Amino acid sequence: MGLFLRAWKHELGIILSDYGTNPRKKVKSPNPSISSRSSMKNRHENQGHRAGKSATVMIGIIAGVVILLVLLVVRPWGGGAIGNDGSDIHNAEVGDFNMIIPLSGELDTAQKTEIRNQLESNAIITSIVDEGSYVNEGDTLFTLSDDALKDRIKDAETKVTDNENNVVAAESNLKIRQSTRDTDLDKADLSIHLAELALKAWEEGEDVSQELTLMVNLETAQKNEARLVRKYEESVKLEEKNYISRDELERDEIAMIEAQTRVKLAEKAIEVYQKYDRVQNRQVKVSDVEQAKAERERIAERHESELNRLDADLESRRKNTERARERLQKLQEQLTYCRTIAPTEGLVVYASSLSESRRNDDPPPQIGTTLRENELVIILPDTSTMVANLKVSEALSGLIEKGQPVTVYSEALPDVPIAGEVQSVSVLAESGGWRDPYRRDYTVRVKMFPEEGLPLKPSMRCRAEILLGQVEQSLHVPIQAIFREGPVAFVYVPDGSGYAQQEVQVGRSSEFEIEITSGLEEGDRVLLREPGPEEIVSKIQIKPQSPGQDKPGWTQGGKVNKPASSPNKGGEMVKKPEQAGSSEGS
């Protein structure tokens, strides 16, 4: 306290000396031409300067007092005496303490239903339920304008009717073409049949008859030739005896020559028929049959091509009709989406109120608001099953396991503990963003078991304590009593008029307590703060740290850099590798 008074006098002396050495310091007027106009104004200015200097002195005195008070709080002025009331002294005690990790986050529901604009186009809200309302399954949440949709439904109905008529016309054209094809094919089959009959009639009739005729002609000519030859020979004899005239003999000779010629002609006619006429006639008849068959194939192919075209046209029109019906059905279904009902009961929360959407500064949905396609409008959280989403640093995330007990405190109900258990820890960490790009936080999802009737809502802020394990019947002190220098942990214990450093060995720890394995006994008194240099009466000798020696994870001043141990499934703490280096005590 004496040091505080000496500092106070020093600061006050500086202020007063400054005031005494400059009692009449003048302040220049911002406009000298005005100050030179009147001595009255100069006197007023001098009085103003004196008043201003008095105010400056008072402000300086107040600032000095504030500075001295801050220095007194941050660094106690000891003068070598132990604390007056002993509030910064704690006795080492044997007992149990829980190893907990305090976290913070916000409440959420385990299940939530998203309500979106299901229309395939923008839509205007015509009515909407108030946010914060509790709705039951089947209640109307909001309605959308349906005038444009009804016009589209009318157009779709007209298209369906037109396409159905096109299908009927295509079916009729197909049937007519099929009937025409059948008629033309019947005619072609008849032509083939007639050509085949003609071929058979020629083979069994005309060919045989023609050949017999030629044979008869040849045989008649041969017999007539033989008769005329005999007659001519008799006529020669009769002419020699002058029974007939020479003229009669010559007539008989001419008749014989003509008969011989007819025999040759008959033989040649048979030869020509057999070699040429018969082959020609056969080829003509066979060709007629083949042409009739080819014509039938051409007719069939021509009709088949046309029928395929008509069938494809019919199928296309049927598909167009089916698409038009589907479009009409979809529009009719879209019309039902103009009235959105609650699929389940729950609390109405506008999507614009969600934390993810607040940055967009979107106004809440109301009558006249235009919704985009598939836009999220309302969230229906199921408040019967609540969870807490907590943020844990990367350094502590490995200590948290599924099933660990948790106590949650909502800021709305800070005095009501809610039991819970760890449900999951996120696989990936979230960045601290532009404010802290090097920060990595994991999300711990805690399933809560609140009592019935608690007014818990999503997005409520909360704090939680995750129980890692329990240390039973162990000597321990508050964490802020432990200090470090290199690899050595020590505490400050009262020693006469000051404090002395005393080396200790530490074990398991929590956020508030730390186990002492050696160096203290039950009832020993330790200091809960770092003493001033004038309060320290003795220090321990620190040996240089050997290369490769593990560095401790607890820093001086009782602040945790990284826990020196982690709990196993039985609650016991297991040593973990430490981070390199430790920060100096404050």
Q: Is the pLDDT confidence value at 276 over 80? A: yes
Q: Is the pLDDT confidence value at 584 over 60? A: no
Cβ atoms of residues 142 and 418 within 8 Å: no
| Tens of pLDDT, residues 458-512 | 889 999 999 988 899 999 999 999 999 888 999 999 998 899 999 999 998 887 8
| Tens of pLDDT, residues 186-208 | 999 999 999 999 999 998 989 89
More confident residue, 553 or 476: 476
Q: Is the pLDDT confidence value at 178 over 90? A: yes
Average pLDDT, the chain: 80
pLDDT number for residue 87: 74
pLDDT number for residue 512: 85
For the domain with range 89-109+382-575, which CATH number is right: 2.40.30.170, 2.60.120.10, 3.40.50.12500, 2.40.33.20? 2.40.30.170
Of 571, 573, 578, 395, whose CA–CA distance to 484 is shortest? Answer: 578
pLDDT number for residue 100: 87
One fold for 89-109+382-575 and 112-145+340-381: no
pLDDT number for residue 63: 61
Amino acid in position 501: Q
552: confidence class by pLDDT, cuts 50, 70, 90: very low
Where is 208: in which H helix or E strand? Answer: helix 207-240
pLDDT number for residue 213: 92
d(CA 520, CA 526): 9
pLDDT number for residue 469: 87
| Tens of pLDDT, residues 402-450 | 999 999 999 989 999 999 999 999 998 888 777 788 888 999 999 999 9
pLDDT number for residue 226: 93
Place of tokens 């009147």: 38
Helices 2-21 and 39-74 cross at an angle (nearest 10°) of 160
CA angle 280, 286, 287 (to 5 degrees): 85
Q: Is the pLDDT confidence value at 99 over 70? A: yes
d(CA 578, CA 159): 75
d(CA 513, CA 94): 12
Residue 303 Cα distances to 174, 193, 210, 298, 569, angstroms: 11, 21, 42, 8, 85
Of 19, 77, 96, 7, whose CA–CA distance to 513 is shortest? Answer: 96
361: confidence class by pLDDT, cuts 50, 70, 90: low
Q: Is the pLDDT confidence value at 37 over 90? A: no
Q: Is the pLDDT confidence value at 25 over 50? A: no
Residue 58 Cα distances to 16, 54, 63, 64, 68, angstroms: 10, 6, 9, 10, 16
Of 248, 256, 254, whose CA–CA distance to 224 is shortest? Answer: 256
Amino acid in position 445: R
551: confidence class by pLDDT, cuts 50, 70, 90: very low
d(CA 227, CA 319): 92
Of 424, 417, 432, 429, whose CA–CA distance to 462 is shortest? Answer: 417
Q: Name 493's bridge partners.
A: 500
d(CA 172, CA 468): 83
Residues 6+ apart with CB under 8 A from 560: 479, 509, 511, 553, 554
The verdict on pTM exceeding 0.85 is no
Tokens of 465: 């304590």
Domain boundaries, given as residue ranges, for the chain: 2-74, 89-109+382-575, 112-145+340-381, 149-337
Residues 6+ apart with CB under 8 A from 250: none
pLDDT number for residue 546: 56
For the segment 240-263, the average pLDDT, to the nearest whole number, is 91
pLDDT number for residue 466: 93
Q: Please name the CATH architecture into which domain 112-145+340-381 falls.
A: Beta Barrel (2.40)
d(CA 529, CA 521): 20
For the segment 391-397, the average pLDDT, to the nearest whole number, is 87
d(CA 186, CA 300): 11
What percentage of the chain carries pLDDT values higher than 90? 54
How far is C-alpha 460 from the geometric centre of its chain's CA atoms? 28
pLDDT number for residue 435: 78
pLDDT number for residue 223: 92
Q: Is the pLDDT confidence value at 9 over 60? A: no
Of 387, 343, 340, whose CA–CA distance to 365 is shortest? Answer: 340
